[in-house]
Amino acid sequence: MKEIILWEEERIRFWSKVDKEGGNGCWVWTGAICRDGYGHFRAGRMLKAHRVANTLARGPIEPGRI
């Protein structure tokens, strides 16, 4: 899996699609949902929203995780 790197404008656009007050302490993706049921975000290529959120909040994802 390629490393997720976003420009500042992409980061702002990404976070605008996350409802951090979604209830039960969960962050709710309000952007596109694809047929696989996962939230997706386009930033030069299609990325899974949960992977982008994890990377932006915690840093790079270890190989084999999520």
What is the pTM assigned to this prediction? 0.87
End-to-end CA distance of the chain: 11
* pLDDT value, residue 66: 64
Amino acid identity of residue 47, one-letter, is: L
Helix ranges, 1-66 (H)? 8-15, 49-58
* pLDDT value, residue 49: 97
Phi-psi region for residue 23, left (φ > 0), alpha (ψ -120 to 50) or beta? left
List per-block mean pLDDT (blocks of 10 residues) for the chain, which spans 66 residues: 90 96 89 96 95 94 80
Helix (H, G, I), strand (E, B) or coil at 42: strand
Spatial distance between the Cα atoms of 32 and 20, rounded to a whole number of angstroms: 16
